[in-house]
Amino acid sequence: EEIGQSPSFYVGLDALAGVVQGAHGRTFATPTEFVCGDFVADPGLLKTSDPEVIVISGTLNTFTDKQFYQALDHAFEMASRCLLFNYLSTYHAPRFPANDGIIQRRDPVRVLQQGLQRTRHVILRHDYFDGHDCTMAWIKE
């Protein structure tokens, strides 16, 4: 798909059944499918429809470091064009909580280095929510 175009097909994957059930009741312009599952426990779920782009939003915030980097590596491998994801940054304003045993913040420099080991085409966005969140795209060459 070109930037600005809607995808030709969308698969939503969430580990929470309520989120998937709520999505089933909505109408979308793009043909959609919603799946309830845990892509860490079942990595094959990311290959459901031969995805061009995989987007991971919010899910990574409670992962251990090992789970975090394994999930990114696997998702990048499964996507034919791009992995787009967000996570909580260690470079955040003091008003936001630090790692607390549940939420885990990551150093964007380390995540950037991980991406650059896989591709030269990395986009990092760290200019919103006062550094609370970071978004990154790893684009295949």
Report pLDDT digits (tens) over 54-109: 889 888 999 999 999 999 999 999 999 999 999 999 988 888 877 777 889 999 99
CA-based end-to-end distance of the chain:
15
Torsional class of 129: left (φ above 0), alpha (ψ -120 to 50), beta (otherwise)? left
Would you tell me the crossing angle of helices 108-116 and 65-78 to the nearest 10 degrees?
40
Q: Are 79 and 73 in contact (CB under 8 A)?
A: no
pLDDT given at position 1: 45
Backbone angles phi, psi at 39, to 5 degrees: -75, -10
* Measured distance CA(13)–CA(77) in Å, rounded: 17
Q: What is the mean pLDDT of residues 25-35?
A: 82
Nearest to 99 by CA among 128, 74, 72, 68: 68
Beta bridge partners of 83: 54, 138
SS3 for 51? coil
pLDDT given at position 3: 57
Q: Examine the pLDDT at 47 and tell me if it is beyond 80.
A: no
Q: Residue 130 gets which letter from DSSP?
A: G
Least confident of 27-41, 79-93, 106-120, 121-135: 27-41
pTM for this one? 0.85
HSE value, Cβ hemisphere, 13 Å, CA-based, for 97: 7
> How many residues comprise the chain?
141
Q: Which residue has tokens 């043909």? A: 31
| Kind and range of the H or E run holding 53 | strand 53-56
